[in-house]
Structure 1
Amino acid sequence: MIPELFVTKDGQTINIDAFKGLNFTGLTTQSPQSITNYQSNKIRDGSVQNGPILFGSRTVTADFYFDGEDVYDYKLACQDIWRLLFSREPITLRESQMPGLNMEVIAKPFDVTRLNWHEMTFSVEFDMPSGYRHSLVKSDRLQFIYDEELSQIGMNLPNGEDLAYRFKQTRFKVYNPSDVVIDPYWQKHDLDIIIKGQGTPMITNLTNNYGIALNRALTANDMLVWNGVRPLLNGTTCERATNHGHIQLEKGWNDISVTGLTNIDITFSFPFLYL
């Protein structure tokens, strides 16, 4: 199968092969980059890792071949490529061989190898600042596990099992297929918990004992959103009326308990993160 590369910029997604004469030939993703903090002792062999090992930014390289009709095609192609790949904001790459994963990247300067007056090859190296590849959509938009537009093999999704991220019961399980713990506190990971119902809600992840609580009553018209570590009641910060807590999702299944709330409607919305 011929590989394809999709570029999302300014809200629009473009198949890069749509450019006349331009052919995407492959994408190479650098391995995860471990950031260590070793501490040594003058009277002890070796070193000890101090704190967690972090994952740094890494690079992605896309290879291209261009075959135009004349020298003017060549000049115009250079301009179109620069216009597409360079931006004041990160752009998003997605390849057809890994269709369920996005990469937010920043293009680095590159040179072309001119084969003759109308052909060239070039490789573009991109910085991927977060170090992660992201699921194409957030958890609450994942309707069909094996929809080719949303997911793929290798995303750690349980085989043949539908996943739910909207719940109306007091006890349920949330599945995190990511390669890492979803940690909105230390790692600033994207996690929205959208809460509707009546009463004073307390939500606890029994798997790791992280929990959130609102110390005032919700009504049927209220909506509480725990945006990472920031609670918003009807769009207004309400941290003083909370336990100042947050939810962290372990890898795999998380056992969630809800108390103090009736007519429950809770959504967990987060992108899946992959190394």
Structure 2
Amino acid sequence: MSVSNPELYLKIGDQDEFNIEDKVQGLTFLGDDSTPALANTYQEISGIDGSKLQYTTFSRYQVVANFCLFFRDWQDYKLAKHQFYRLFTSRQQIRMRTDVESAIVRFVYPNLPEIKPDQNGSHYATFSMSFDNPSGFRYSLYRSDGTYSNDDDGVQFGMNLHNNEDQYNYHFTTKLFKVFNASDIPLDPWKYKSDLRIIVKFSGNSLKLTNTTTNTEWAYNKPSNGQDTIILDGIFTTLNGNPASANSDYGTISLATEWNNFTVDGADSVDITFSFPFVYI
């Protein structure tokens, strides 16, 4: 039974995504590995033994990708080596994913490796390349309001979606609804700067949105006829693309892991969309 080689897909800045083996002749991707990192901050108190934990944060870590470069002669080696290095000179953020985790991505920055033949006279070079992952997290390929399906393009193992994604909805027109956060961690734009956008259209004199699971709420205190697009983007509110936090109570919404129960008060009718990436350690 044959086993196919793993594949590495990169998207540099706004460029199209590509398979790295298509860009460098003779290059084979051998796989990647990484370990999440935690940073604990302590307070030292004079006259008291030990230390008091203040907080724990996820830290940046490195993703190590392994490669083997095959070449026929020294000219091929020099050309392929240049092709490889040239891929990473744009100084832009890179979106990384593999065929093993095709629906989960990391946003990384490269550290160029040394590439040289394994020994004098050999026609191959094995090497490892480290990518910095400054966020400390992995993310779903699509946002919650994107299109999910049963193929590997949208849902895969390890995404906490249990292969029943039809039950997960992120667009609501009722005043009572539930939002599923498939992330490994809670999402909190105020505390953790989490990426969470709530797009709202409503008719009525005002609107109050409450997550009864996390006891967080946000209110828009001006009337709307249902045509305006009001967005709570993290901790900031906009009205039709213009700053409008002054029209709100300056509240914010957080999401616990898994199910979150919501209520809407004050509006006559609502159209609400939750847009966020699922976040994984």
Unaligned 5+ segments in structure 2 are none
Match of 2:258?
A: 252
Match of 1:155?
A: 159
Q: 1:100 aligns with which of 96, 100, 103?
A: 103
The number of aligned residues is 272
Match of 1:179?
A: 184
Q: 1:212 aligns with which of 208, 212, 218?
A: 218
Alignment of 1:232-251 (within 5 A): 232-251=238-257
Report whether the alignment pairs 1:225 with 2:231. Answer: yes
Q: Is the 8 A contact 2:109 2:133 kept in 1?
A: yes
Q: Distance in 2 between matches of 1:56 and 1:185?
A: 18
Q: Secondary structure at the match of 1:76?
A: helix
Shift >4 Å, 4+ stretches = none
The 1:58–1:32 alpha-carbon spacing in structure 2 relative to 1, beyond 3 Å, is same
Q: TM-score, normalised by structure 2?
A: 0.92
Q: TM-score, normalised by structure 1?
A: 0.94
The 1:61–1:225 alpha-carbon spacing in structure 2 relative to 1, beyond 3 Å, is same
Q: Distance in 2 between matches of 1:158 and 1:177?
A: 10
Percent of pairs identical after alignment?
37
Alignment of 1:3-152 (within 5 A): 3-9=6-12, 10-18=14-22, 19-29=24-34, 31-50=35-54, 52-115=55-118, 116=121, 118-144=123-149, 146-152=150-156
The 1:59–1:192 alpha-carbon spacing in structure 2 relative to 1, beyond 3 Å, is same
After TM superposition, give the deviation of residue 87 of structure 1 in Å.
2.6
After TM superposition, give the deviation of residue 161 of structure 1 in Å.
4.7
Letter in 2 for 1:216: K
Residues 60-116 of structure 1: CA deviation (Å, up to 9, x unaligned): 010111112332222221222112233322101101111111011111131013134
After TM superposition, give the deviation of residue 118 of structure 1 in Å.
4.2
Q: Is the 8 A contact 1:73 1:118 kept in 2?
A: no
Unaligned 5+ segments in structure 1 are none
Q: Distance in 2 between matches of 1:161 and 1:14?
A: 28
Q: Is the 8 A contact 1:114 1:121 kept in 2?
A: yes
